[in-house]
Each structure stands twice: as structure tokens, then as C-alpha cells.
Chains A and B, each alone.
Chain A
Amino acid sequence: MLAKRIIPCLDVKDGQTVKGTNFVNLRQAGDPVELGHAYSEQGADELVFLDITASHEGRKTFTDMVQRVAAEISIPFTVGGGISELRDVERMLSAGADKVSINSAAIRNPHLVDEIAYNFGSQVCVVAIDARLDENGWTCYLNGGRIPTERNLFDWAREANQRGAGEILFTSMNHDGVKAGFANEALARLAKELSIPVIASGGAGCMEHFRDAFAIGHADAALAASVFHFGEIGIPELKEYLRAEKINVRL
């Protein structure tokens, strides 16, 4: 049976991992390749590396890091952050990334999803969506949650699916950094409406939250950062727990 995936996410700035709480307040947490390798040994199913560097030199450092990850780590990994055109995708894939995640650039230019799927295949294209639940429903945001858009989460996710996205990585801004669980209701609706896998992100605080994202939210994968980085949850214990809760995971 296809396993539910556990994905640690590493935010990388100038070659170092950092993690934001509610997208601000960054704390240092180590070398990304070393950390990625440790997660892979512990049983992480995939890794996500997000480049949160804005500068040109930072981009170069990130590309070097992607090459090191590809050489040293034997599980699939996704890279994201600052990917705005086909050329960026090509650069990341030739550096050895298995998938790329696009966020703001896809909302600004939805055709980018079609282009990536056409040129490299759907399996390469992860569309990341940051959304917040407000009085108008679930609204998509740009630039790491700084700029609200007119787009609704479900409409945009369906469109991305139709355009050829391989997966949707949905981060609830209401839940991110709060450690009170994932946005299970919205996740379940996405799972029902989409024909591609959904990765739950934002809100992991304890092991039960992962179980609920799979059992209630019907997510295909769950992504988290700080609970792993600061050792609050170990991946082996998490997987043992999930297995005992009848969630199919790779042990």
C-alpha cells in the first residue's frame, strides 16, 4: 500500500537553515545538507528545501547546496523559493532536485504550471499555496504571506490541478507556527476536490496532529519544520505512533 509521507521542511537563508514562526522571527538551526542527511537516516520520506534568500549571491549559494544534497542524500527532495520562470526550474533540476515548488509566481502567472508540466512532467511541479481563513473564506496570499490576493484557495488549487500540477502543498497561515494542529477541514475538502496528492503544512505541534491530518484531513503527506528541527518530535517515534494508529507509513 502507498505510504503516507512525512516531510521535514528546511528554510535556507545564505546556506543555513532557519525557521519562522508565523513567517517572522527567524531562528538559526544548522547546516541544511547535514540536517537533511540526518532526517533521511531517521526515516523522513522526502525533504523540502526552501530558499528564503533574496540576494543574487544567496541564490548561487542555494544552487551549490542543491548539488550537495543531490550528491549526498538518497531520498527525493523538493526545492522552492524564488522560482519564477522556467529557467529557474531548469537550473534546480539540473542541480539535482527531484521536484520544484512554486508559489507566488504561479498565482501571478498560472501558465507557468502548464509550462513546467509540459517540459518536465507533472511529477516535478509542486504548487505551494499559502492561504488564510477570513470572513471571505480561504484567501491565497503572495510573498510568504505578506500580500493578500483575490484568489480563493479551492478555486486556485483546482485550477493548478487542471493545469498540470503534480501536488498541492497547502499551508494554512492561521495554523502555521501555532502548533495546534493542521487545517483538517480545508485539507479534507482539497482531498475531495483534487485528483492529485495534497501535502498538509502548518500547525504540527504533537504526534496526534499528524494522525488527524491523515485520518481527518485525508492528506497524502504532512510537512513540518520546527517540531523536527528542535527535536520536539522524532521521526522514528512519530512513524511508530502512526503505524499503531493504523496509518500506513514506511518504517
Chain B
Amino acid sequence: MFILSLIRTFAHSKRKKMNVAVVKYNAGNIYSVIHALQRLGVNPILTDNPEELQRADKVLFPGQGEASNAMRYLREHGLNKVITDLKNPILGICIGQQLMCKHSEEGDTECLGIFDADVLRFQPQKHEDKVPHMGWNQLHFVQRKELKPLDNGLFKSFTEGEFVYFVHSFYVPVCAHTIATTDYIQPFSAALHKDNFYATQFHPEKSGSVGERIIKNFLEL
């Protein structure tokens, strides 16, 4: 028991010292990610300073908002280049995931082009298909030879079908970078991964203990 608590204290202090940055831009709901990190014992910095973002151990790119306004802001502040050039692990959340793709139908917007995929608007097929897709839905994991085992990633120790919280009207179709899918109207990309770039369409910061595990896994990458 004593050793266990020592390990825990060590893990906790290690995390506390971890340098985590949250990208500061004109999107809403950034504070819920900061609160989620604080609940894990991490005090992130909120910054749009290129050096601070490059120096961070981990970068989070969260938010809710409209794609064309967000991209305009990122370009005006030179953040588009900074984000695409990052070598440290970065996690895009919701609009963050969409902005990391090539193009978004929302406002016909050229995005960062990190993931080779386009962002489309949900097209309801029947009356029950409400847009935005809002609420708790299930994750299905993509198993492919070229992907590293899930044990190394965002979904370490996850089981099929766990629920996470979504709020969005636009989606990324299933593509070469998809590591998890969710079914709504059709299967779409719930999470993407390429090199040091990670992204989720859902909100881990609002997904209870499941979301907490995802953020923790990201911090421990």
C-alpha cells in the first residue's frame, strides 16, 4: 500500500511538472479543457506564443466555434504554421479536429491540412437524424495492420463501445487516419491520429471518467 501511494505521489508530481499548453484563439469553451486538466493535477498555460507552444510537452487545441472565423484568426496570428510544424504531441478537440483537416464545408474553409480529409456537413436521411449530433455515443476502434496497437495510444485500456459526449454539425468521414469511429447517420471519424497529431471529434473534457482516461492517456504518451 505504501509503495503504491509513493508511486501515485510520484506520478502526480511528475504530471504537475509537465508543461502543458492550450492553444489560445477565438474559439469558445476552452476553459472546460483547462478545468479537466486541473482535475488531473496539471496546470496548463493558455497561450498563442509560438515558442511556448513548441516548448510544451503536450499541446491541446480545443474549442467550439465556426471554422472560417477560427481559421482567419489562426492565420492572422501565424498559428497555422506553428501548429502544423509542431513536433510535440498535440490533441485537437471538436473544431480542433476539423481545423486539422484539409478543408471544411463550414464557410468553405481551407484548413490546416494535417489530416488528408475534408470536413462535411451532416445530411439527415430521416426525421430522427437531428443535426447537431448531440449527446453520448459509442466509440468503435479501427484495427489495421499499419496502425500501432491501441495499447500505445489515446485509447489505452479501452473496450469497444464506450460512450463519449459529442456536439457537432460537421464531421470527418472515415479516412486513412481514423483510429475510432462512431455511428450517426453514417460511420464517421470519432478520432484521428497521424505522427504526433491526435484529434477527437467528441469532447473528452465533458465525457466523465471515460474522457478523463483519454486526456490522461494523451498526457502519458
The segment out of A13-21, A71-79, A134-142, A227-235 that lies at the interface is A71-79
Q: How far is the CB of B57 from chain A (nearest CB, A)?
A: 22
Whether the pair B135, A98 counts as a contact (CB closer than 8 A) is no
Q: Is B110 an interface residue (CB 8 A)?
A: no
Q: Is B114 an interface residue (CB 8 A)?
A: no
- Within 8 Å by CB of B28, from A5, A120, A195, A197, lies A120
Q: Is the interface of B mostly helix, strand, loop or mixed?
A: mixed
Q: Which residue of B lies closest to A195 (CB)?
A: B130
User: Which chain A residues (1-19) contact chain B, with CB distance < 8 Å?
Assistant: 1-3, 5
In the assembly, what is the distance between CA of A9 and CA of B210, in Å?
Answer: 23
- Within 8 Å by CB of A76, from B127, B132, B137, B206, lies B206
Q: How far is the CB of A72 from chain B (nearest CB, A)?
A: 8
Known contacts A96-B32, A98-B206: A74-B211 contact under CB 8 Å? yes
Whether the pair B209, A74 counts as a contact (CB closer than 8 A) is yes
User: Which chain B residues (28-49) contact chain A, with CB distance < 8 Å?
Assistant: 28-29, 31-32, 35-36, 38-39
Q: Is the interface of A mostly helix, strand, loop or mixed?
A: loop
- Within 8 Å by CB of A75, from B127, B138, B184, B208, lies B208
Q: How far is the CB of A37 from chain B (nearest CB, A)?
A: 11
Number of contacting residues on B, CB 8 A? 31
Known contacts A70-B31, A71-B38, A96-B32: A122-B132 contact under CB 8 Å? yes
Known contacts A2-B133, A71-B35, A96-B35: A123-B207 contact under CB 8 Å? no
- Within 8 Å by CB of A74, from B64, B138, B183, B212, lies B212
In the assembly, what is the distance between CA of A43 and CA of B212, in Å?
Answer: 15
In the assembly, what is the distance between CA of A221 and CA of B207, in Å?
Answer: 17
Give the B-binding residues of A (Cβ under 8 A).
1-3, 5, 40, 45, 70-72, 74-76, 93, 96, 98, 120-123, 166-167, 192, 195-197, 220-221, 250-251
